[in-house]
């Protein structure tokens, strides 16, 4: 477990920093985001919150794994709960968003949304793997981290740049 400590310290810091940048992106374009949401039902605020939930999931998962323990129960159950809540939210959010957007954008939305759902699911998978196989299951969280950053950066890019085109 000690060999992972630097990784989780880095991920806690990176996810916290990206969360802050997401808030900046939203605050810069807040009026524009809310106007587009009301005029076109664009669900940009949902995109922002989905990215936020994803980044906070990584922050919480990393924080739980930094708690010193020799037991696999606390980290395993903690990751399972965080991942489970994140998956449910992402599925509800992506389904609502998919139904509200124009058909021409649905494939891209489904692809991006799937990345967010998978990022959340791999947090839960890591929790299950830790409970079943011990701390070797932590490696599944690496997949979640990569997917979470791809998803959050894509959503932040839309909120900061694409809506102004």
Low-confidence stretches of the chain (pLDDT < 50) are none
Contacts 24+ apart (CB under 8 A), 13-18: 14/149, 15/55, 15/56, 15/58, 15/59, 15/62, 15/148, 16/59, 18/55, 18/149, 18/152, 18/153, 18/156
Chain-centre distance for alpha carbon 103: 25
Instruction: Tell me which residue of 113, 106, 110, 123 sits closest to 151, measured CA to CA.
Output: 113
Task: Tell me how many domains the chain contains.
Answer: 1
Instruction: Tell me which residue of 45, 20, 50 sits closest to 33, measured CA to CA.
Output: 45
Instruction: Please tell me the distance from the alpha carbon of residue 91 to that of residue 101, in angstroms, as a whole number.
Output: 16
pLDDT of residue 78: 97
pLDDT of residue 71: 92
Residue with token string 């939203």: 26
pLDDT of residue 143: 96
pLDDT of residue 36: 83
Q: Tell me the residue range of the domain where 7 lies.
A: 2-164
Name the packing angle between helices 73-100 and 44-66 (round to 10°). 170
> Global pTM?
0.90
pLDDT of residue 81: 98
pLDDT of residue 140: 94
């Amino acid at each position: 477990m000690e060999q992972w400590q630097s990784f989780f310290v880095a991920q806690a810091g990176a996810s916290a920093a990206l969360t802050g940048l997401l808030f900046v992106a939203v605050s810069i374009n807040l009026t524009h985001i809310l106007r587009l949401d009301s005029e076109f039902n664009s669900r940009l605020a949902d995109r922002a919150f989905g990215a936020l939930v994803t980044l906070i999931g990584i922050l919480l998962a990393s924080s739980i794994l930094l708690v010193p323990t020799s037991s696999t129960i606390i980290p395993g159950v903690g990751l399972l709960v965080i991942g489970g809540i994140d998956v449910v939210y992402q599925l509800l959010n992506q389904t609502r968003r998919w139904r509200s957007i124009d058909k021409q954008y649905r494939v891209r939305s489904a692809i991006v949304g799937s990345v967010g759902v998978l990022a959340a699911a791999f947090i839960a998978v890591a929790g299950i793997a830790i409970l079943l196989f011990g701390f070797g299951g932590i490696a599944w969280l690496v997949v979640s981290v990569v997917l979470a950053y791809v998803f959050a950066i894509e959503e932040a890019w839309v909120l900061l740049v694409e809506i102004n085109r």
